[in-house]
Amino acid sequence: MDMSQYLDMFLDESNEHLQALNEQILSLEQHPEDEQAIHEIFRVAHTLKGMAGTMGFKKMQNLTHTMENVFSNIREGNQKVSSDLVDALFNGLDILENMLQEISDSGKDEQPEYESTLKLFEGFLQKGGEGGKGGQEEAHEKKDEIRCKAGEITWEEDILTQIENEKKDGHAVYGLTVFLSARCVLKGARAFLVYKAANKIGKVLGSNPTMEQIENEEFELDFTWLFSTDQEKAEVKATLEKVLEVEQVVIEPFEVKKKEEPKPAAPAPTQTEKANPSPGKETKNLTRSIRVDIEKLDGLMNQVSELIIAKNSMTNLIQQVDNPKDPKQIMIRETVEYMDRITTGLHESVMGVRMVPIDQVFQRFPRMIRDLSKSLNKKIQLVMEGGDTELDRTVIDELNDPLMHLLRNSCDHGIEGAEDRVNKNKPEEGTILLNASQQGDNVVIQVSDDGKGLDVEKIAKKSIEKNLATEEQLKSLSDDEIVEFIFAPGFSTADKISEVSGRGVGLDVVKTKIESLGGSISATTQKDHGSTFTIQLPLTLAIIQTLMISLGEEKYAVSLNSIDIIEEIHTKDVKRLGQRKVIYLRDQVVPIVDLREIMGYEPVDRDVNLAVILHKGDRQRALIVDNLEGQLDAVIKPLDSRLLNTKLFSGATILGDGNVALILDINALF
């Protein structure tokens, strides 16, 4: 059988299983007696082994099987969870991750460290007493467990009523327990095949675990049903045991035992009602989600984008009609308004499909912080909040590297050693907070630490050395503005280069990547109290709400997310602060940016100027424009290659009249 068609699914699911193992082993290291974590680790490792074997990747299967035996020893109390063992397990996960990458690149599970890692685990097995076949294989060798369990389960009252009705109609009712083979891969799918076979000769009245739990593979290797049929017991047993990877079916007649105090009927449907569909509808409950290639979603989003452009064009035409009271034109206007609502709903639906929790990125970092704290010989705790905050998948995929750089910086530059922290009356263990939250149409991510903070004086001195600013210019800058120099290319205040940082490339890369995603990053610091890096990102990169502004005949778009308010500024109120023009607004000194001056237009003398007040983090700018042209749902189009070096624009959009408007990059204005 050609398994190559399942390769992408195998890689995706294997990476998810490895991430789950990373999380559970971290939990086990902190709580060695946590039986739930141990069982979950064993279950995931067993599934991963089976998947690798099915796909024909023998080395990956062997390594996972050996690790599974170690997990089995831990579960049975034959192996203690030591620091050395956890390090070895994490090393094994790294090898498996490298194997997956090699499989993706070349189709082979080759890894130079495979043999040595295998021997390392075999050494742990010898010390702890080898786990042999592993827990699930051993389960079926215990003869006292091979029995029908239907009589041991407390069934719902409505199921017992169904049984009585089935018997009155002349049907036989059996309790049966199905045991799957220990080599079974995709247990939920195999159980579904058993279910289909059963429904051809009868009807499942009750299930333990529920069908939903079976679908999600939340069971070991057996499940129990109450089954109504007109067939003989031997024939039912033979039919179900014909299904591949069904090891044994134990079946016996089921008699209802009367309860002394019957349960009152629940107002909501019971779990069994939800989990047991009628024979003709069994596939409905078993198809709740599907995997979709991101390129297909991109294609769908592109079609929605084109629909929005068409809607904007029709709206523009409607505004130009000569007789707005004409009944036909009124009908056209209403149709366009209806199309507007449908288009907006379709856009929101597509965005809902593309949105994923940021926790998918966050969960990669606890393991990294653990390894860094050991290599730096520091005690560091990572606290994560807001993992359920959602972002567009395309943004999520690009977030890993920027956040990794910020976290590594906090570990190396921010958090002090235990001795230094004690001398400063701080806890020995430093804390890094990784937090995400949604604010309007933006997601804000903060990386904070309670370390020594950034050295503002040292940053100022370095900025002079690198010709980024003069002493005179630095005098007019606040501490937070001076801190911004750390994002300059090649900037570093580290006294020596380490494996973690010091080469001056990390924060420059972070800023470049965040701004390429249409976001911004800023930093604040307080000596001996720590630093905070704040990232602000749009929810999506495809369609944004904008305010259209104009200079003369030219129109430009500004993201509404960056706008605080619109103000009229009197020329007499404009002041100078060093080289800058500023205005005093609501107890804030706001620098002025004249868009005419930036674009090379002829200056216009006015007593009153129209200003769009923009924000980036806690800072503001007053953008002087000629006119406001209203709001527009802007479909972002990439710039022509000849404009890629023009940092003032982040993209372009097509207007309703067919003309093109450039979208201003707010970061450049700051």
Residue 39, CA distances (Å) to 219, 243, 273 in order: 11, 27, 29
Contacts 24+ apart (CB under 8 A), 86-93: 86/25, 86/28, 86/29, 88/120, 88/121, 88/124, 89/25, 90/22, 90/25, 90/367, 90/371, 91/117, 91/120, 92/63, 92/67, 92/117, 92/120, 92/121, 93/18, 93/21, 93/22, 93/25
Place of tokens 């010091």: 502
Query: Is the CB of residue 356 less than 8 Å from the CB of residue 391?
Result: yes
- How many helical (H) and strand (E) elements, i.e. helices and strands, does the chain have? 25, 22
| Residue of 431, 469, 367 whose CA lies nearest to 86 | 367
CB-based burial label for 658 (10 Å; 0-12, 13-18, 19+): exposed
Q: Which entry of 17, 40, 46, 413 is annotated as an active-site residue? A: 46
Q: Which DSSP symbol is given to 403?
A: H
SS3 24: helix
Residues in the chain: 670
Asked about 467 being catalytic, the answer comes back as no
Tell me which H or E stretch contains 208: strand 202-208
Query: Is the CB of residue 537 less than 8 Å from the CB of residue 517?
Result: yes
Question: What type of residue is 47?
Answer: T
Asked about 39 being catalytic, the answer comes back as no
Q: How many Å apart are CA 367 and CA 640, to the nearest integer?
A: 41
Residue 474 structure tokens: 């630095």
Query: Is the CB of residue 398 less than 8 Å from the CB of residue 513?
Result: yes
Place of tokens 């606290």: 383
Q: Which entry of 69, 208, 409, 561 is annotated as an active-site residue? A: 409
Strands (E), 560-607: 563-570, 575-577, 580-585, 588-594
Query: Is the CB of residue 482 less than 8 Å from the CB of residue 463?
Result: yes
List all residues 6 or more positions away from 161 whose beta carbon is below 8 Å from its beta carbon.
none
Query: Is the CB of residue 627 less than 8 Å from the CB of residue 578?
Result: no
Q: How many Å apart are CA 110 and CA 42, to the nearest integer?
A: 24
Q: Which entry of 68, 390, 416, 484 is annotated as an active-site residue? A: 68
Asked about 171 being catalytic, the answer comes back as no
Residues 227-236, buried b or exposed e (16+ Cβ, 10 A)? bbbebeeeeb
Query: Is the CB of residue 626 less than 8 Å from the CB of residue 585?
Result: no
Q: How many Å apart are CA 417 and CA 401, to the nearest integer?
A: 25
CB-based burial label for 630 (10 Å; 0-12, 13-18, 19+): exposed
SS3 159: helix
Give catalytic residues, as residue numbers. Answer: 46, 68, 409
